Amino acid sequence: MFPALETEIKPETLSDPYEDFMHHHLQYYGYFKAQKGNLSSSAPHQCVWKTSPRYTLNGSYGERDDLISDTLEKESFLWPTCLPSTGHAQIDAVGKDPLMLSSPLLRSRQLLYDELDEVNPRLREPRELFSFFSSRGPLQAPKWPIECEVIKENIHHIEWVPPEPEYFYQPTGDEKEPEIVGEEQGTVVYQLDSVPTEGAYFTSSRIGGKRGIIKELAVTLQGPEDNTLLFESRFESGNLQKAVRVGAYEYELTLRTDLYTDKHTQWFYFRVQNTRKEVTYRFTIVNLLKPKSLYAVGMKPLMYSQLDATTYNVGWRREGREIKYYKNSADDGQQPLFCLTWTVQFPHDQDTCFFAHFYPYTYTDLQCYLLSIANNPIQSQFCKPRALCRSLAGNTVYLLTITNPSRTPQEAAAKKAVVLSARVHPGESNGSWIMRGFLDFILSNSPDAQLLRDIFVFKVIPMLNPDGVIVGNYRCSLAGRDLNRHYKTVLKDSFPCIWYTKNMIKRLLEEREVLLYCDFHGHSRKNNIFLYGCNSNSRKHWLHERVFPLMLSKNAPDKFSFDSCNFKVQKCKEGTGRVVMWRMGVINSYTIESTFGGSTLGSKRDTHFTVEDLKSLGYHVCDTILDFCDPDQTKYTQCLQELKELLQQEIHKKFSNFGQDVDLEASWSDIPLSDIESSTSGSDSSLSDGLPAHLLNIANELNQKMLLKKTKKKRLQTRKQRNEQYQKNYLMRELKLAEDTPTQLSGRDKGTSLEPPLTNLVLPKNMETVQTQLSGRNKGTSLEPPLTNLVLPKNKETVQDPKLLSYIPRRPEIKSSLIGGVHQIGPVLTHFQEVQK
């Protein structure tokens, strides 16, 4: 392979380094089938040249060498050799020869070598394809829109599982509904100044957000006795717009809407400082949009105490009393608003506490988790993180490919694929915790996990909407739109995360069968965990799409509710990932919904879900995949039979409610399943559908310009005006035809008249009757009476008769034209026929 080296190093003492490496590389991934012919197999060990500092490795796995300016000087060039023990003298000789060491034939920019001599070198990952992590450098800092102020503090929370179940709050009926007084009667203690809302749109981003000095938005304490709470939310995933002090220990809170919109106030996450213990505080969020909420049926907010975390290793816990969800009495003439109020007592004086709608999981949390995978020597062998794309703000959307290396190409091609995604809605952090549980299990050394990696290729997108997660949105991206309504989009630049996800799955379908697609979400109005699927139109696969959720409900009976599942495909949900992937050919395409509250099933009845509960569902998803694909189809067949019985019962119940009787034995399988199920209780897609914010402004401007053009054109209101316009248009066409005839052209050359006089036109004898009918226009009769008994000569000779002029009183332009003798009898006859019609 290197002919220039054959005269200097004998093949029997020194093998080709590149060929030796490629042999091991291809054999490891199951693509090498030939025998290793010219490679030495008697080498007891491997030696690596590190004589010159120019050729030493300058970084560990994951360093971005392509960011180094002088690549040729700073990259490492390695020459692995397999030598017998008798060849060490030759190695030393080569090592002392600078010409040999600097030979371009011995260099390779594709080989990477870490700091352990005994480890085999490996090929460099394709550039700009994988997103690397450096164990010796900082993580990629999140990029924010340039309008957002960001504090410099790093917010971190410990993971903790409560030792006892956290039960729902039981309303007493005496809960107070505080009247909203606002800043007119209160004191504003926290307010964001520059927050882009509807009408604005995303333009650019930078690390750290807005340039300049960060303002101190919190009030200044007047002394140690000042007990005013200090609020803050300008950190990753934080959301609080304004805080108004309306009492000594009572505060009204306003949430920030999703950026570049005026909607979607549900997610909250903020910090308070300067607390006092054994004092009852009341917080009231005044601008929630949903009329129904789990807070009305016992859900509690989450609280985190910094002192408890550092002292007692206690993390997030459910807190709150006197919880009430009610309609805001203040009517501003726009959409109705709703309030959430609760009271709480802080555990310590001068503590730093956080409140959240659900357990936060930030973009930085994800990066730290992926970094731990990259630094794990075992997990990094079968889990490859790469950059699927960049978001609008330039943050990386990660794609993980998880599978064990195949032994043969046939085995690799036979693997089916499973696609999982989460956090398309940034405020639904439940999805990230389920995804975390799935990844913990699938990357473990469990026999079931190894089996899954052997038979499947997992494509995992753990955070589809990193921009929304970073800025603390509840539902939208920085385009101001719900990404889960735009999977059919062709706007790659406006919705890159969705566009690249769909394209990735489309290419995957061309390579192999996609067995399962799951998108993890959160639900704010229903308890338990359930899913939405798609009814199969194929009689061959009838009810098969319901087998997986039924199996999942059996594996997690105290968390997953099959009765809450729905498989109806609504028109308003055509742009969701679930429906689009189903129409692309993925039969088992689901949206898995996890409640923000807890369970109403089994042993966990009336208790809140913890982080471990959600992570356990990720494990149950893996377990259900194994059951679903078990070669022994006993479980599958039993579930299918159970589904048929459940469906028969549902059909019978539906018909009984209408007072009808149906023969289920004969025709029940012909009843469309969409007629049986009710519509889903998902979110209103119309709130977040449409063009992205920046294109919407352009479209509005174009519509206004078009509207102005239309208003400038005077509309014809009366019938008389329409007739006059018709007559003018008709005469213009006739004059144009007359000017274009050859007879006219020849007559122009001879100097004769362009139009011969109208002669020999015979009018009907009862002309007076016709004139009487025509004169009825002044009496409100029809303007165009039927013309009858009009006899024209066969030779169509023209005639000029004064009586003819009185025959057309309603066409003054035609009358004047006939007097001037500019019309032929042909066009006149055509006009009469048209009038007669």
Give the 3-state secondary structure of residue 687. Answer: helix
Coarse DSSP helix, strand, coil percentages of the chain, rounded to the nearest 5 percent: 35, 15, 50
Residue 46, both tokens: 């491997």
What is d(CA 577, CA 34) in angstroms, rounded to the nearest whole number?
A: 44
What is d(CA 270, CA 242) in angstroms, rounded to the nearest whole number?
A: 11
CB 763 within 8 A of CB 832: no
Closest CA to 774 of 804, 806, 800: 806
Residue 380, both tokens: 């990094």
Q: What's CA 138's distance to the chain center, in Å?
A: 28
Closest CA to 578 of 493, 512, 510, 521: 521
The Cα angle at residue 240 between residues 236 and 241, in degrees rounded to 5: 125
What is d(CA 480, CA 685) in angstroms, rounded to the nearest whole number?
A: 13
The four Cα atoms 358, 363, 367, 370 give a dihedral, to 10 degrees, of 50
Question: What is the sign, positive or negative, of the torsion defined by CA atoms of 285, 289, 291, 293?
Answer: negative
- Residue 767: count of CB within 10 angstroms of its CB: 15
SS3 for 343-373 is: EEEECCCCCCEEEECCCCCCHHHHHHHHHHH
Q: Which helix (H) or strand (E) holds 641?
A: helix 634-657
What is d(CA 728, CA 118) in angstroms, rounded to the nearest whole number?
A: 97
593 flagged as catalytic: yes
- Work out the burial of residue 637: count CB atoms within 10 Å of its CB; fewer than 13 is exposed, 13-18 middle, 19 or more buried: exposed
**Amino acid (one-letter) located at 149:** E
- Kindly tell me the number of DSSP H helices and DSSP E strands found in the chain: 24, 26
**Amino acid (one-letter) located at 561:** S
Closest CA to 719 of 770, 777, 662, 776: 777
Residue 275, both tokens: 């607390």
- Work out the burial of residue 757: count CB atoms within 10 Å of its CB; fewer than 13 is exposed, 13-18 middle, 19 or more buried: exposed
Question: What is the sign, positive or negative, of the torsion defined by CA atoms of 60, 64, 68, 74?
Answer: positive
Q: From residue 783, give the alpha-carbon distance in Å to each of 473, 734, 761, 762, 829.
A: 66, 22, 23, 23, 18
What is d(CA 307, CA 305) in angstroms, rounded to the nearest whole number?
A: 6
Q: From residue 160, give the alpha-carbon distance in Å to each of 250, 359, 360, 431, 511.
A: 29, 11, 13, 18, 42
Residue 800, both tokens: 């000029």
Closest CA to 90 of 14, 5, 39: 14
Matching residue, tokens 């990477």: 112
- Residue 127: count of CB within 10 angstroms of its CB: 10
User: Which is catalytic among the residues 232, 545, 593, 755?
Assistant: 593
Q: List, in sequence order, the alpha helices (H) in 145-231.
A: none
What is d(CA 663, CA 683) in angstroms, rounded to the nearest whole number?
A: 37
- DSSP secondary structure letter of residue 700: H
CB 324 within 8 A of CB 176: yes
Contacts (Cβ under 8 Å, ≥6 apart) of 704 = none
Matching residue, tokens 């700073």: 74
What is d(CA 284, CA 291) in angstroms, rounded to the nearest whole number?
A: 16
What is d(CA 466, CA 448) in angstroms, rounded to the nearest whole number?
A: 31
Cite the active site residues.
Answer: 593
